[in-house]
Amino acid sequence: MDKSLRNIIGRRRRKGPKQKNLLFKRGIKVSFELKTQRTPSFLLTTTMDVEKVFHMTGGAGDSSYAKNSSLQKKGSDMVKHITMGAIQQLYLTTSPKSIGIADLGCSSGTNSLSTIREMVDAIEETNRSKVSQPLPEFRVYLNDLPTNDFNAVFKALPDFYRELKQARIDQGSGPSIYIAGYPGSFYGRLFPTDCLHFIYSSYSLHWLSRVPPALYDEQGMSINKGNIYISESSPPEVSEAYFRQFQEDFSLFLRSRSEELIAGGRMVLILLGRIGSNHVDRGNSLLWKLLTQSLTILVSQEGKRERWHWSEGKRVRAVVVVDKSGVAVRAEKRRGSCNCGWGREKGWLEVTRREKLGKVEKDRLDSYEAHFYAPSKEELEDETRREGSFEMDRLEMVEMGRDVEDSKSYGMAVAKAVRAIQESMISHHFGEGIVDSLFQQYERLVVEEMAREEMITVSFVIVLGKK
Ligand SMILES: C[S@@+](CC[C@H](N)C(=O)[O-])C[C@H]1O[C@@H](n2cnc3c(N)ncnc32)[C@H](O)[C@@H]1O
């Protein structure tokens, strides 16, 4: 389109919704239709939302990530020999006096500091047996999104330093370790040029920078209605949209890291993935499917919701009948005595809000999409090759299943782990009120499913060397 025509369209577009336009340009009649995209604000999860909202449940309570991250620990322990081998190799080839290590997506549990301790041990051991020079000082950068509970990590530091020192009491002094928090998205630059030797990231890179915008049509409506991730009923455009977002994100990640690593620097990335080209397999999409089912059950719960409240100075009871699609269809008021202790206005507001809640929830379910993607081995290899900054030294697949006899407690652990990860996004989108009942429902479905058949998840560990 030529520039002057584009300017006119630009000006007209600002004028308002849907207009038929005719332009005469060098004698040619051009007709075009303009549609103003009206995207309800709650429909799209943008990059900004992810950066501002997404975080693992902080603190040390029952539903915190700290208490519910043993599955991630188990996964990274399974490939510990690869991680430690890579950092030892890096140390042997570069022998720096000060080694820069970053953990990207460190979260707020104990997993990150425990891996850092193992890295320090591994370098000490290499230093003792193969390198005759003083131990390097360690610069450790812990990165996560700004809403991560960094305080919980910092609070654990005094114990971390004390334990390191105690383990080396016979050596007189412990290693010099300087730890800092680095908030920000790893989809972009985080560190100054050439300041890192080793980058580690576990169970973080399957999170995309945003929900792929191509999942929404021109009116801002989801093309993946009734699902929150790729499912059997998703049209092919859905997996295509997720794949494109993965490509964009992963190459930006590699490009950014290549500028921050010194030449010869290394990365170890551990992330969830899938076997082969099929997006919908048990290990990769079952947990999303069960979360969709739990949300659907909640939205469509049929029944009566009753509340006492005040009206015109009298105590009355409101009965809201909710139909199968979650829409309030009838409200009655009856006399009665109140023991709920609500104030006048609060009682009314509560009932009014509940009457509308059903419909809104249905729309919200349709518009909720996960910002997640489990790549295949080939997709990881292709993207690394295409981006070009790294040599892939190693790519291994590990499978993880239930390691306890009891499928019920395993199912409960899985459901709690998903809650600790998804709670922030769910309550941002649907409201805090649904979280407890949603995850009770979810736990029930996960436990049932685990009793029926085992679920094997697939992870990849990749070792990359900067060219
Ligand atoms: C499941 S946790 C893994 C935590 C830890 N590495 C472990 O293995 O237990 C994933 C972490 O990645 C973080 N994360 C996701 N996307 C991110 C991004 N774009 N930039 C930085 N951190 C991100 C999340 O906030 C979360 O803390």
CB 216 within 8 A of CB 223: yes
The pLDDT assigned to 325 comes to 45
- Can you read off the two tokens belonging to residue 415? 């459901």
Burial code (b: 16+ CB inside 10 Å, e: under 16) for 33-56 equals eeeeeebeeebbbebebbbeebbb
**Farthest CA pair distance, the chain:** 91
First to last CA, the chain: 41
Task: Indicate the top mutation candidate among 200, 207, 250, 425 to test ligand 1's pocket, ranked by most ligand atoms within 8 A of CB.
Answer: 207
What stretch of H or E contains 307? strand 303-311
Eight-class DSSP state of 216: B
The pLDDT assigned to 44 comes to 59
Complete domains list, the chain, with CATH: 3-34 (no CATH), 47-298+372-407+452-466 (3.40.50.150), 299-367 (no CATH)
Q: What is the dihedral of CA 290, 230, 72, 70, to 10 degrees?
A: -10
Determine if ligand 1 sits within 6 Å of the CB of residue 76.
yes
* Centre of ligand 1 from the C-alpha of residue 106, in Å: 6
Q: φ, ψ for residue 145 (rounded to 5)?
A: -65, 155
CB 391 within 8 A of CB 258: no
CB 322 within 8 A of CB 330: no
* Centre of ligand 1 from the C-alpha of residue 186, in Å: 9
What stretch of H or E contains 21? strand 19-25
> Could you give the CA distance from residue 342 to residue 347 in angstroms, rounded to a whole number?
6
* Centre of ligand 1 from the C-alpha of residue 421, in Å: 9
* Centre of ligand 1 from the C-alpha of residue 144, in Å: 6
Place of tokens 């059997």: 232
| Strand stretches in 251-302, DSSP E | 261-273
| Strand stretches in 196-282, DSSP E | 196-202, 261-273
> Could you give the CA distance from residue 258 to residue 401 in angstroms, rounded to a whole number?
34
Instruction: Go through the chain and tell me how many residues it has.
Output: 467
Q: Atom 23, ligand 1: which residue's CA is nearest?
A: 105
> Could you give the CA distance from residue 93 to residue 95 in angstroms, rounded to a whole number?
6
Ligand 1 atom nearest to CA at 103: 6
CB 277 within 8 A of CB 230: no
CB 362 within 8 A of CB 326: yes
- Can you read off the two tokens belonging to residue 448? 């049932």
What stretch of H or E contains 248? helix 236-260
The pLDDT assigned to 133 comes to 86
Q: Atom 5, ligand 1: which residue's CA is nearest?
A: 106
Q: What is the pTM of this model?
A: 0.82
CB 438 within 8 A of CB 295: yes
Report which of 204, 212, 209 is spatially closest to residue 272, judged by C-alpha positions.
204
CB 216 within 8 A of CB 39: yes
Task: Indicate the top mutation candidate among 111, 144, 373 to test ligand 1's pocket, ranked by most ligand atoms within 8 A of CB.
Answer: 144
Ligand 1 atom nearest to CA at 76: 8
Instruction: Count CA within 13 A, CB hemisphere, residue 367.
Output: 22
* Centre of ligand 1 from the C-alpha of residue 133, in Å: 35
> Could you give the CA distance from residue 329 to residue 356 in angstroms, rounded to a whole number?
10
181 pairs with which residues across the strands? Answer: 142
Place of tokens 């820069």: 100
Determine if ligand 1 sits within 6 Å of the CB of residue 228.
no
Determine if ligand 1 sits within 6 Å of the CB of residue 203.
yes
Determine if ligand 1 sits within 6 Å of the CB of residue 288.
no
Determine if ligand 1 sits within 6 Å of the CB of residue 449.
no
Residue 219 zone, left/alpha/beta (φ > 0; ψ -120 to 50; rest): alpha
- Can you read off the two tokens belonging to residue 11? 């000006």
Eight-class DSSP state of 215: G
Q: φ, ψ for residue 392 (rounded to 5)?
A: -90, 105
Determine if ligand 1 sits within 6 Å of the CB of residue 148.
yes
Ligand 1 atom nearest to CA at 421: 1
**H helices of 95-203, where?**
111-130, 150-155, 157-167
Point out the residues of the chain with pLDDT beneath 70. 1-48, 172, 300-361
**Centroid of chain to Cα 367:** 17
